[in-house]
Amino acid sequence: MKQNRNPQQEKGIYICGLILLGLLAFWLGAEHFLGLKFSLPPCLFHSLTGLYCPGCGGTRAFRLLLSGHILQSFLYHPAVVLTAVLYVWFMVSHTAEILSKGRLKIGLPYTDKFLYLEVVVIILQCIIKNFAKIFWGTGIL
C-alpha cells in the first residue's frame, strides 16, 4: 500500500531541520570561537544500575560523528549515524526540490517506518551492550 505524501507535514519537518541546523552551527561556533564546552551530566540510569540505558553513548557518538569518526560513532550508538544519514538525505533532497520550485520531485517522503526503524535500532543496541556487560563483563562505553 502506497502512502500519500503530506506536504504540510514534510514542510514542518524541513523547518525543524533548518532550526536544528542553526542550533548545531551555534553550538559548534560557541565551542570553536568562544572555547565553550557543552556537556551533559552522567546518565542517572547507568549511575544507579550499572547498566546502559537506551540512550547511553549517544552524546559520545554525536561528538565522534561531528569529528568525522563514523565507525567509532556507529559503535557507540548506531542510531546516531542512522539519524544523521536520514537527516542529511531528507534535508538535501527537499532543498533540491524547493530550489527547483517543485520540478524535481526528489524529496525523501516522510514515513513512520523511519521512526520504527530507529526504535528497533535503539532497543537492539541497548540489549547488545547490556548483554555484553552482564555476561562477558565487557563495558562497551
Cα separations in angstroms, 26 against 17, 21, 30, 65, 129: 14, 9, 6, 17, 33
Lookup: cell for 62 = 554525536
Please give the pLDDT value at position 103: 85
Please give the pLDDT value at position 3: 61
Residues 22-63 pLDDT 10s: 998 998 888 888 888 777 788 888 889 989 999 988 988 998
**Which of 135, 113, 129, 120 lies closest to 56 in space, CA to CA?**
129
Query: DSSP string covering 73-106, please?
Result: HHHH-HHHHHHHHHHHHHHHHHHHHHHTTTSS--
Mean pLDDT of 81-85: 95
pLDDT band with cut points at 50, 70 and 90 for residue 71: very high
* Contact residues for 131 (Cβ-Cβ < 8 A; gap 6+): none
With cell 555484553, the residue in question is 132
